[in-house]
Structure 1
């Protein structure tokens, strides 16, 4: 079975995001970029499936700017077999919207014919949580979201999902789209020998036009602003005063 894993280049999760002075977006100048953490978990799960003998080949795909090849190389260093970079933007500030990403991925899947698509549940830059679901709808494939455990059994996959009430286990027919959650696994670090080997692994470069997909944005960002600073705490003298403040000032009871 071939496993396809979409990966996205995002601001590193350790970086404090800065908003541009004019409020037009996030400042990306001299900012460290890395693979979306949820996508990293998806890559790790694909590698583990291969190590178990449930998968034969792992293909990683990234859609965005040319610099995203660094993200693909990271996945290749972890253990993926080959990569596909689809250049869909020239400006690093342009984010390709979920529907356009899903349409491109659908075309890639038609070519690659994977048995399973493992994707992060969302990207930490826009938190859309939509691409996996849209891709499932476009392909007519089974889907399982927020996966914390994945077990392949023949032409079915048992997926444990994280839901509001706890955990839910479902059986989905393959081929399927599975979006992964934080507790699925702990991604491995790429060793130096594997980083060197990754430079020799195949990485194909294409464009969105090659797949006939229009990536023009359908949404307009009106304004970007930082969250308000947290107010300082207040000391209270009694439980009665605490209850009064929670009721009359905070309005939580």
Structure 2
């Protein structure tokens, strides 16, 4: 089984984003970047499938500027076999990403595509669903457990009422939740080996995909600061304030 994994280069989750002075976006100058945490989980799950003998090859794909190759090399150091980099300096919307991944899937013919349920920079949670729709494949979103078998994969996902298990026919698209696994750290020998693993580059034009933006960002602002709370001296005073706010009748 060939597994295709999509990864994205984002601001490291430990870094607090800064908004540009003109409000046109987030300032990325001298900011630490890393692989999207949900995508790390996707890579880890693909590696575990290979260790179990289920997956035969893991191909990682990233869409973005030249520095996105660092993210791909990280995935290769974790255990992926080869990488594909779709080069573009402009930000690509989820639909554009889904179209590019669909083209890569047509070329690679994977039996399973795994990607994070969302990227922590835009939190759209849309690419996986759009990709499944474009390919006409079944999808399992927010996966907390995968159990592949002959021509099928069982996906356990958390819902409001508890756990839901869906059985999908392959090929399929899976998006990962936090509780699916704990990603490994790449060892130094594997980091060195990753430098020699194949990494192909493509462009949206070569794939025949129009990535023109369809959404316009009007303004980016930081969230408002939390206001200080009020101290109350008694339960009666608390109830009175809650009544005044309409929280209780």
Q: TM-score, normalised by structure 1?
A: 0.96
Q: CA deviation at 1:232?
A: 1.4
Counterparts of 1:87 and 1:252 in 2: how far apart (Å)? 52
In structure 1, C-alpha distance between the alignment counterparts of 2:145 and 2:233, rounded to whole Å: 48
CA distance in 2, matches of 1:246, 1:35: 44
Give the CA deviation at 1:241: 1.5
* 158, 164, 167: which one aligns with 1:168: 164
Residues of 2 paired with 1:110 and 1:99: CA distance? 17
Which residue pairs with 1:128 in the alignment?
Answer: 124
Distance 1:248 1:8 in 2: 47
* Residue 72 (structure 2) aligns with: 72
Aligned length: 248
Q: Distance in 2 between matches of 1:20 and 1:247?
A: 41
The two structures have a TM-score, normalised by structure 2, of 0.97
- Consecutive unaligned residues of structure 1, counting only runs of 5 or more, are none
Between the aligned partners of 1:223 and 1:164, the Cα distance in structure 2 is 34
Partner deviation per Cα, 1:42-91 (whole Å, 9 max, x = no partner): 00000000000010000000011111000000000000000000012x2x
> Which of the residues 95, 98, 108 maps onto 1:99?
95
Residue in 2 that maps onto 1:228: 224
Instruction: Report SS of the residue matched to 2:240.
Output: helix
Equivalence for 1:241? 237
Q: Which structure 2 residue ranges, 5 or more long, are not aligned?
A: none
Q: Please say if 1:81 is aligned against 2:81.
A: yes
Measure how far apart 1:231 and its partner are: 1.0
* 1:175-231 Cα deviation digits (max 9, x unpaired): 000000000000000011110000000000111111111111100001111111111
Helix, strand or coil for the counterpart of 1:126? coil
Structure 1 vs Structure 2 CA RMSD: 0.9
Q: Who is 2:25 aligned against?
A: 25
1:7-26 equivalence runs, <5 A: 7-26=7-26
Q: 1:247 to 1:74 in 2, by over 3 A?
A: farther
What displacement does 1:167 show? 1.4
SS of the residue corresponding to residue 49 of structure 2 reads: helix
